[in-house]
Structure 1
């Protein structure tokens, strides 16, 4: 049995506890009680979340035989630094646990404990620059879902903790079990650690349903050539009206937005499949592999081949 301890502190983000469901369903999919979970705090007793609800915890002095520690983040780590007791505990525990993971801003607790020194790490994008400024010996990668550096795991904000927990399940019980868990939790996709924290669809953020509908249509039909006339029809606008409204709502021309969607779709295929680059270019609507490379260089600064090597590494 693999014992997981959650380290909570006053003001912790409730979303961090959502990762417990991943391990719960891993037991169901695997058909055995592989994971056992308990909540801890330095002193034990009720711990108040940022939402105001309280969670009963055990004192860390009762934490025997914990294989993995999950450190939950707080709403603002700059205003709520970790306590000396937390840091001392993690410094000692770090020598014994199989792995220590930080969910969202929980990475600041590991950083303050010295556990991230000279390591790669990530955290919520909003606080990534603050982490790098405060801890210059950490290689902070602010555009990653999660990072594994030896026995230390760190994740980006909120839902990225679910992806990190799924990766742990995959490592412990195999990818088939991890996929089964993702399916049970109705997760749209099993995101890899190298995936960006930002979504092209979210960054476009249209203000009206008609533009959102056109974007949804485009995303589902990236393999085909997409014209302004076709998208305008989906939005029930004339092509001229569509271009004007689209640019006003998203800040991009329709062609630039579609290129961004193609780029994101291609990157996901590179990260999550073994399809040849020629196939990926065709499936995501680029003219050919060379065209896809040109767009990758503009968008990411690296060619698709380099990204694929990094993911495989």
Structure 2
């Protein structure tokens, strides 16, 4: 028996990120080879073809106002979307299409379109790691999760940057067709069915905002200048001539963290940079002030959900080697 057709509407616009469209589209197309029946329909405001981020014109199938109800609505993102107010007609189209869809999903900065349409109010959501803070400001009632690859809140889905749209599409396929078919799709596309860790592993830094209080800036400078020195709570308090209790209160008030967590975050960023530069995990631990590889491993598990060794394999080189063989064997 032919499987029941599942209609997927994709709301596109000028300047859209091409991979936001092509990544999920390939997942659905590949799923059809294994027995699914997804039908994609591209819609835009006015029904006109749109220009993509790589300059390719993309024809569409229908005007958003005339489009039928979809089982799934996908809203793609684009580099310009977070930089200013979302076009009112685009937001209205998303709101109208979403009201008739079985489930709604955004790819990358498409979350800003959903936010402008009021669809993130009171909901959990995510977007590209570079824009999570901005999304939280634009949508103050939304609960933005900065490290998630994708977030589900009922029938609403939002995904992180660009290729996370593939992760999300695989999750949507698994809902309809289970893990076996989805695993076949992932293997065929040579992607992980579920990637380890969150999107922080792809971000430039986990460091929080720069302290405004001179005392806290002094501590930040001291740790960055010599991460291997004694930066215990007592040593930090003595350095800036305040009590440990008062220093802890200052960190809580301004940065919503503790002195020790802040020191670990600076050391973690340094270790991450050392791994990026080609140092092994043991060297990175020693040079960034961690007492042992094991303590660095625990920090990586807390912040990224993967080990320092796996991080280095993923981001140390694009050449052939351990990372490639490890990745392919995991996918198979």
Tell me, yes or no, whether TM beats 0.5. Answer: yes
Aligned to 2:71: 67
Aligned to 1:57: 60
Q: Larger C-alpha radius of gyration, 1 or 2?
A: 2
Aligned to 2:29: 24
RMSD: 2.9
Q: Closer, same or farther in 2 for the Cα pair 1:91/1:268, shift >3 Å? A: same
Asked if 1:36 is matched to 2:51, the reply is: no
What is the TM-score with the length of structure 1 in the denominator?
Answer: 0.66
Asked if 1:105 is matched to 2:109, the reply is: yes
Q: 1:201 Cα shift?
A: 11
Query: Does structure 1 retain, via aligned residues, the 8 Å contact 2:285–2:296?
Result: no
Query: Does structure 2 retain, via aligned residues, the 8 Å contact 1:26–1:177?
Result: yes
The C-alpha deviation readout for 1:23-75, integer Å capped at 9, x for no partner, is 01111122x4x101121111122211122221111322342242111100111
Aligned to 1:115: 119
The C-alpha deviation readout for 1:175-202, integer Å capped at 9, x for no partner, is 111111111111134238xx52122898
Query: Does structure 2 retain, via aligned residues, the 8 Å contact 1:123–1:155?
Result: yes
Residue 89 of structure 1: SS of its match in structure 2?
A: helix
1:271-282 to 2 correspondences below 5 Å:
none
Q: 1:125 Cα shift?
A: 1.4
Query: Does structure 2 retain, via aligned residues, the 8 Å contact 1:200–1:264?
Result: no
Query: Does structure 1 retain, via aligned residues, the 8 Å contact 2:159–2:165?
Result: yes
Aligned to 2:218: none
Q: Which runs of 5+ in 2 are unaligned?
A: 206-271, 311-332
Q: Distance in 2 between matches of 1:84 and 1:94?
A: 15
Aligned to 1:130: 134
Q: 1:259 Cα shift?
A: 3.8
Aligned to 2:258: none
The C-alpha deviation readout for 1:62-107, integer Å capped at 9, x for no partner, is 4224211110011132325332222222222222110111100100
The C-alpha deviation readout for 1:113-135, integer Å capped at 9, x for no partner, is 00111111111111111111122
Q: Distance in 2 between matches of 1:154 and 1:70?
A: 9
1:254-265 to 2 correspondences below 5 Å:
255=293, 256-261=295-300
Asked if 1:83 is matched to 2:87, the reply is: yes
Q: Closer, same or farther in 2 for the Cα pair 1:162/1:89, shift >3 Å? A: same
What is the TM-score with the length of structure 2 in the denominator?
Answer: 0.63
Residue 65 of structure 2: SS of its match in structure 1?
A: helix
Residue among 3, 7, 11 paired with 1:3: 7
